[in-house]
Amino acid sequence: MNKKFDLKGIIFDYGGTIDTNSRHWAEVLWEKYQYFRVPVSKEVFREAYVHGERTLARNPLVKPEHNFLDVLQIKTRIQIDYLVDKGFLDRVEADDKAYASHVADDCYQYVLETLKRTRPVVRELAAHYRLVLVSNFYGNIQTILKDFQLADYFSEVIESSVVGVRKPDPAIYRLGVEAMGFPAGQVLVVGDSFSKDMVPAKAVGCKTAWLKGEGWGNEEIDESLPDIVITDLPELLPYVL
């Protein structure tokens, strides 16, 4: 692929791509809710998940020094508090069984295991290409990259809360291309979200590799749009090396 498209650089999404290798975070969290027998339905959990994401988008609860375990603890506490406030969970039971901390801790371990598979891919690509990260995040992505030994692989990081624009707005990928310093047509965007990564990346003229996996389930998909479709990040290497 690098010969066909004359690639010079690669833009990575972070959440759902590097940390979970194609699984939407709602699905990872739901799996842990089930494992720890949190007594709510998936529909109710999704309400709590959406509430949590909107709360974090409105309120600067995540600080720049927070690592990803901190983020997960904040997220799960918001979710459990919502479920208690709405009457779906009993407060005493939720606290006694420490649902929030158990789910957060197990999700963090899940990421550590996943990174054993995805970090080597990033490392290998960084040896051949300029890499830029473009992420919808909370202002602490640099801390997370350091925590997970990923920081040295990215020459630039474009974070939504810092630049003031969020996916799926193509403008955030335009910033990524500008940071890359190469024409958009020589840049490959790798991401797990069809609507938030593939569509806006194509809109600014980038090549695209869709890490197709366990998504949110509410996207309209056109598999002819991405230049590459993979289901496991290591599958990308033969296309670009």
For residue 104 the two structure tokens come to 């957060």
What's the rounded mean pLDDT across residues 149-164? Answer: 96
pLDDT for the residue 1: 47
Q: What confidence tier does 220 reach under pLDDT thresholds 50, 70, 90? A: confident
pLDDT at 147 over 50: yes
For residues 209 and 198, the answer to whether their CB atoms sit within 8 Å is no
Q: How far apart are CA 13 and CA 241, in angstroms?
A: 19
For residues 158 and 14, the answer to whether their CB atoms sit within 8 Å is no
Q: What confidence tier does 223 reach under pLDDT thresholds 50, 70, 90? A: confident
What's the rounded mean pLDDT across residues 128-134? Answer: 97
Q: What confidence tier does 57 reach under pLDDT thresholds 50, 70, 90? A: confident
For residue 160 the two structure tokens come to 């939504």
For residues 34 and 25, the answer to whether their CB atoms sit within 8 Å is no
